[in-house]
């Protein structure tokens, strides 16, 4: 089983980071029409200047898929786009960490037919369903049973970040939930079609057709969670799949009114059946960011008004976010598996087809290569992207530098844009109180050699969005932080191209990002590839490529030498 780990470093010594020194890059790469936020340094790739010249080219109409530890939808910066739409429009957990099994709920003798009390096999009780907005099926409705499950703090006892889920000072709490397939007409009459469905229906014909097809089902899964753990569901909200209405909740405690909402919980429900097709108890897929890495990357790529500070934005503040969780925080370092990665990529590709929304992927995960460019996952991605020319993929190069041939996998795949980690003078001053004479490449940033990587470099340190359980400074370093800067820049280019009607594919965008980069003097190609990402320059290159018939015909080409 292959395990891939996030490439962010939460703490590092500045002395180790500054062993490689470079001369200043050109002034155009750091020009900004407004305030310089050097601790969230989109200014260093020219994103604010690009948006200032064309305010609607801010990533709107594009979704950035964060393949990581799960994005927290409660955090300021992850709430809205620049146009006031919900920022995070879809979530999934492919790590299996969030899969909660359910079982048929037993009816406890303490309840009545009109006010039933449900219990689990081991005796956990849930009451108060008579006050819910959607009626729970009666005991005589054998075709639509009620299922029950429990979120128990004991299941998080080995978590490095979150084990007291409701912040009440202990880790013995249980939060029960009920699941049932409700009549769709009844649900939509009580709760509405759903904010997500309404947005998608108005977006384009493809999305409207997909919504209409999903709404043909007569029944829809609904979930009600005992969010304060008191066993009483009265007053609790009814939740549908996240994409439908953007439902989210936090766990709290009636006995600890001053407790914090540590992280957002969102969910999706999936029907299960046995090998003969007979229905089984459904699986509730809870989506949380109990690793912080994903939410941090999302803020860098597309945050808007981060921490509630007006104008503190990621690279593409108008873009939507899709959170595809592949980091399992039950494993060391939030590692992932090859299967989780493949499912996430396939979902992103299918999302684009189903909803007619261009998708830019950021995956700040990887593992060291035994031999650069010769890995099964990279080959699989190259094959997949050959079939999906409008899916744009950005990855972190790795944190195993400064030696040659240290770029990890799958970052060595030809079709991906892999980013090394750059540190500007201004960011060094703001984040580390360091008086640097020149910008630098972080010492840890992986270098190429056997593979022509990295493709570019981007700011590799930032303060960004993090879930509520993170105490202290939200400063992370790593090529994990560089890749979402590049992904945000790609989202700006795709947004602009879509609005002016350019016919592009990922091969053209990758060439534009590399050719438009600002070379950092003193560094070699195996250090920096095309140099520091420069959105404005890359847009000029992309426009030229869009007018070239040859460029449209070529997704990629490979150059190799034999040793």
Q: What is the mean pLDDT of each run of 10 residues along the chain (563 residues)?
A: 48 30 34 63 96 97 97 96 98 95 95 94 96 91 93 86 89 96 97 98 98 97 97 97 98 86 96 89 95 95 94 97 90 75 96 98 83 82 95 95 91 95 89 84 92 95 92 85 98 98 97 97 92 98 95 85 63
Residue-level pLDDT at 391: 97
Residue-level pLDDT at 35: 64
Please name the helix (run of DSSP H) or strand (run of DSSP E) that holds residue 3, with its range, or none.
strand 3-6
DSSP H helices in 407-464:
425-432
Residue-level pLDDT at 369: 67
Q: Could you tell me which residues come within 8 angstroms of residue 72 by beta carbon, excluding any fewer than 6 positions away?
A: 78, 263, 264, 288, 289, 294, 295, 465, 466, 467, 468
- The whole model's pTM is what? 0.92
Q: Could you tell me if 318 and 301 are in contact, meaning their C-beta atoms sit under 8 angstroms apart?
A: no
Residue-level pLDDT at 445: 94
Residue-level pLDDT at 502: 97
Sign (positive or negative) of CA dihedral 71, 269, 133, 106? negative
Q: From the CB of residue 195, how many other CB atoms can be counted at a distance below 10 Å?
A: 15
DSSP H helices in 303-372:
338-355
Please name the helix (run of DSSP H) or strand (run of DSSP E) that holds residue 543, with its range, or none.
helix 535-546
């Amino acid at each position: 089983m292959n395990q891939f780990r996030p490439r962010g470093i939460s703490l590092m010594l500045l002395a180790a980071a500054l062993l490689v020194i470079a001369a200043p890059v050109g002034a155009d790469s750091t020009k900004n029409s407004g305030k310089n936020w050097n601790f969230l340094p989109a200014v260093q790739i020219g994103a604010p200047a690009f948006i200032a010249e064309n305010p609607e080219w801010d990533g709107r109409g594009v979704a950035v898929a964060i393949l990581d530890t799960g994005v927290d939808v409660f955090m300021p910066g992850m709430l809205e786009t620049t146009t006031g739409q919900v920022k995070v429009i879809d979530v999934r957990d492919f790590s299996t960490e969030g899969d909660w099994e359910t079982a048929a709920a037993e009816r406890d003798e303490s309840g009545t037919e009109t006010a039933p009390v449900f219990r689990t096999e081991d005796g956990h009780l849930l009451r108060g369903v008579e006050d819910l907005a959607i009626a729970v099926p009666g005991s005589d409705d054998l075709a639509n049973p009620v299922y029950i499950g429990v979120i128990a703090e004991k299941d998080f006892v080995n978590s490095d970040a979150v084990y007291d889920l409701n912040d009440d000072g202990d880790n013995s709490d249980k939060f029960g939930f009920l699941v049932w397939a409700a009549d769709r007409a009844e649900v939509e009459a009580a709760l509405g079609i759903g904010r997500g469905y309404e947005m998608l229906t108005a977006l384009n014909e493809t999305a409207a057709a997909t919504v209409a097809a999903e709404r043909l089902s007569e029944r829809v899964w609904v979930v009600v969670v005992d969010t304060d753990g008191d066993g009483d569901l009265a007053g609790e909200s009814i939740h549908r799949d996240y994409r439908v209405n953007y439902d989210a909740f936090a766990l709290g405690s009636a006995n600890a009114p001053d407790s914090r909402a540590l992280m957002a919980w969102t969910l999706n429900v999936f029907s299960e059946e046995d090998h003969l097709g007979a229905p089984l108890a459904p699986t509730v897929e809870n989506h949380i960011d109990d690793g912080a890495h994903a939410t941090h990357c999302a803020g860098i790529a597309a945050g808007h008004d981060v921490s509630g500070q007006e104008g503190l934005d990621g690279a593409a503040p108008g873009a939507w976010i899709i959170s595809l969780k592949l980091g399992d925080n039950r494993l060391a370092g939030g590692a992932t598996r090859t299967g989780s990665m493949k499912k996430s990529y396939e979902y992103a590709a299918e999302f684009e087809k189903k909803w007619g929304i261009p998708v830019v992927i950021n995956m700040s995960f990887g593992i060291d290569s035994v031999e650069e460019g010769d890995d099964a996952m990279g080959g699989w991605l190259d094959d997949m992207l050959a079939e999906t020319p409008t899916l744009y993929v950005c990855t972190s190069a790795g944190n195993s530098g400064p030696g040659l041939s240290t770029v990890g996998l799958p970052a060595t795949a030809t079709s991906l844009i892999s980013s090394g980690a750059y540190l500007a003078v201004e960011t060094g001053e703001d984040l580390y109180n360091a008086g640097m004479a020149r910008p630098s490449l972080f010492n840890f940033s992986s270098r190429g050699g056997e593979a022509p990587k990295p493709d570019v470099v981007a700011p590799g340190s930032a303060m960004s969005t993090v879930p509520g359980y993170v105490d202290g400074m939200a400063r992370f370093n790593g090529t994990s932080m560089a890749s979402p800067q590049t992904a945000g820049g790609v989202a700006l280019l795709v947004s602009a191209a879509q609005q002016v009607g350019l016919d592009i594919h990922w091969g053209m965008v990758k060439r534009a990002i590399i050719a438009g980069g600002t070379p950092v003097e003193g560094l070699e190609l195996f250090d920096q590839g095309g140099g520091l990402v420069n959105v404005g320059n890359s847009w000029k290159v992309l426009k030229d490529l869009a007018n070239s018939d040859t460029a449209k015909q070529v997704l990629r080409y490979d150059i190799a030498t034999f040793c």
